[in-house]
Amino acid sequence: MRKFWKNTSLRFKAGLIMTAFFLVIGFGVYYIPHVNPFAFNSYPPKLGPSWEHWLGTTALGQDIMWLLVESIHNSLTIGLIVALIGTVVGVFVGLVAGFSGGLVDRVLMVITDTFVVIPSLPILVLMTALMRGSATVIMMALVLAMFAWAWPSRQIRSMALSLRERDFIHTAWFSGEGTVQVVVTEILPYALPWSLSNFMNATLVAIASESSLAVLGLSPANLLSLGNMIQWARDRNAILARQWFWIGSPIVATILLFVGLFMLITGYNDYMSMKRGR
């Protein structure tokens, strides 16, 4: 770990620290006992920042800091679930298709290409509109995950087609190993670095997708997220009321989270390129 930290760039270190900061807030501070931030009139409305309410309160009497903490928790949860499903399913389908070949490859690629060419935004808009007011974090993540595995599957299949011609793969075939065993023991170690990079990128894309739907007013109304927090502040005229912390805090948090993840992804890719001697 010490050698890894020494060889990584400043960009990667800054991205890791920023991302870790949000993870601590979303999965550490979140579990500190507190009043339900979604409940109305828990506190006097439109209070300024103070020791009791660090970011003040909304026009509905909600604590802005705890709204932000829960929004970060839910947005990160959605992003991580989508990234996990998309990466695992994409890697598995791509590897099986690339190594099996023949009919299995053609069937899996037809399914994959179908999800690639289908415009995801209209489908997401329709599904979130149908679930509006009743969707949970898990349901929202599953909806977004429907379109998160197709591109990784295409990319990992290309890697599998290249690796299947290597000598060590032919040796594994001749030794009697089956397709699944070859994929898991011989190829998966080569795919793990790429999978980690894809996981981080998928997390960023999933959070951006949910935030975009929320700002458009299409995210479930009962889901606390960074996008919904911005949308609710807009609906309640937070800008005209000069409640800058209400609308500004989720915007700043979203920007910093995106910048942190972007720096982490690009820094990690630079490290892997340097490790490969490119």
2 within domain boundaries: no
Please tell me the total count of domains within the chain.
Answer: 1
Q: Is 182 helix (H, G, I), strand (E, B) or coil?
A: helix
Query: Structure tokens of 244?
Result: 């800058």
Domain enclosing residue 73, as ranges: 61-275
144 within domain boundaries: yes
252 within domain boundaries: yes
22 within domain boundaries: no
191 within domain boundaries: yes
Query: Structure tokens of 128?
Result: 């979130």
pLDDT of 255 above 70:
yes
Q: Report the distance separating Cα 61 and Cα 45, nearest Å.
A: 4
110 within domain boundaries: yes
5 within domain boundaries: no
Q: Is 245 exposed, middle or buried (0-12, 13-18, 19+ CB in 10 A)?
A: buried
- Residue 131 sits in a domain whose CATH number is 1.10.3720.10
* Selected residue with higher pLDDT from 179 and 59: 59
pLDDT category of residue 276 using cuts at 50, 70 and 90:
low
> What string of DSSP letters covers 72-109?
HHHHHHHHHHHHHHHHHHHHHHHHHHHHH-HHHHHHHH
**pLDDT tens digits for 107-158?**
998 999 888 888 777 877 777 777 665 667 888 888 888 888 988 898 888 8
Q: Report the distance separating Cα 170 and Cα 105, nearest Å.
A: 19
The one-letter amino acid at 85: I
> What string of DSSP letters covers 11-53?
HHHHHHHHHHHHHHHHHTGGGS----TTSTTSS-TTPPP-SSS
pLDDT category of residue 245 using cuts at 50, 70 and 90:
very high
32 within domain boundaries: no
**pLDDT tens digits for 26-74?**
999 999 998 888 888 889 999 989 989 899 999 889 999 999 999 999 9
Asked if 139 and 74 touch (Cβ cutoff 8 Å), the reply is: no
Report pLDDT for 133: 59
Asked if 66 and 42 touch (Cβ cutoff 8 Å), the reply is: no
> Dihedrals φ, ψ of 165, to 5°?
-90, 0
